[in-house]
Structure 1
């Protein structure tokens, strides 16, 4: 069954290692087959990965989009280790991300990493109130 994708004007999407940018009008198309797909709202860049959790998201994103997943492991594990040193209470979320990565489901790992970003924001908000 094909994946139906609708893009707003000027929205972009990554399919595999190809970036597709929509023109001036809304468009709908179908993708049949297996390739990593990320909509613009789910894409982070080095510039937008401005917190530790977002940097972890970026490293998982690179694993998801890459043909050479292993080349991103060292960066990922270093970021995770540093994050857990600062926020050990994040271990359950990190464990869930690791389980998704180990099972090869990088898209689900990205979804769980969004929980880590939310958790980080919650921790920072709590720290700012103190």
Structure 2
């Protein structure tokens, strides 16, 4: 079964270890085969990874795109330990990400890592509100 991808002008995707940029008008691609694919909106760059949850997302993204995901496990688990110590309430989301990594559902792990970023942002916003009240 083919994967259908439509790219807007200037939009980029990562397919396997290749960056593809649409230089023309709207483009439709039919992709046969199995390779990790990330749309531009889902790509985390090292420069944008400015929180622990974003760095976790980047580590999961690296695992998803890599032919040897285990190369990124040490980084991932170090960041996970750091986040759980700082915010134990993140454990539920971390466990979900871990389960998906262990079962090879890397794209689903990325989706959960996106949820972790949103949760971290909520925690930081709540902490800032609490500081203002003091």
- Normalised by the size of structure 1, how large is the TM-score? 0.98
Q: Which runs of 5+ in 2 are unaligned?
A: none
The SS at the match of 1:100 is helix
Please list, as runs of the form range in 1=range in 2, the aligned pairs for 1:35-50 lying within 5 A after superposition: 35-50=35-50
Shift of the alpha carbon at 1:24? 3.0
Please list, as runs of the form range in 1=range in 2, the aligned pairs for 1:1-130 lying within 5 A after superposition: 1-130=1-130
Mapped to 2, the partners of 1:41 and 1:50 lie a distance apart of 17
Q: Which runs of 5+ in 1 are unaligned?
A: none
Q: After the TM superposition, list the runs of 4 or more consecutive aligned residues in structure 1 that deviate by more than 3 angstroms.
A: none
Mapped to 2, the partners of 1:100 and 1:110 lie a distance apart of 9
Mapped to 2, the partners of 1:71 and 1:35 lie a distance apart of 18
Shift of the alpha carbon at 1:32? 1.1
- Number of aligned residue pairs: 130
Whose Rg is larger? 2
- Normalised by the size of structure 2, how large is the TM-score? 0.95
The alignment's C-alpha RMSD in Å is 0.6
